[in-house]
Amino acid sequence: MSRPRKKTAINLYSEVNSEQLNEDFGRFWLSVKDSMRPQDRIRLWGEFVRKRWKDDTPKVREEISKQVETENEKAMNVWKKNLATFTGTPEELDQ
């Protein structure tokens, strides 16, 4: 029973806007793929999403940040509740 991983605002932003980001990144990648190595695509995707996050309006960033906080709090509360009612062995707790 491991502690839940915290979501980040950029991860949630990319999940919420995945269709538009994928479409825009696809066009961008087509324009540069001949001059790049295929393994550069992952690094460029991260840079692309971070740039779009920074360029988005403060209102959108604030909404996403609030949503991340809420989701992280819910996940932690569920984990704490499960941990408080855990009756297994210490070895099972480490899993």
Q: Where are the domains of the chain?
A: 9-93
The percentage of the chain sitting over the pLDDT mark of 70, rounded to a whole number, equals 88
Q: Which band of pLDDT confidence, cut at 50, 70 and 90, is reported for residue 81?
A: confident
Q: Assess contact for 1 and 93: CB atoms under 8 A.
A: yes
Q: What is the pLDDT of residues 2-34, one digit of tens each?
A: 788 999 999 999 999 999 999 999 999 999 989
List, in order, residues 6 or more apart from 77 with CB less than 8 Å away.
none
Q: Are 50 and 10 in contact (CB under 8 A)?
A: yes
Region 26-50: mean pLDDT is: 92
What are the Cα distances from residue 23, in Å, to 20, 27, 47, 73?
A: 5, 7, 15, 32
pLDDT at 27: 94
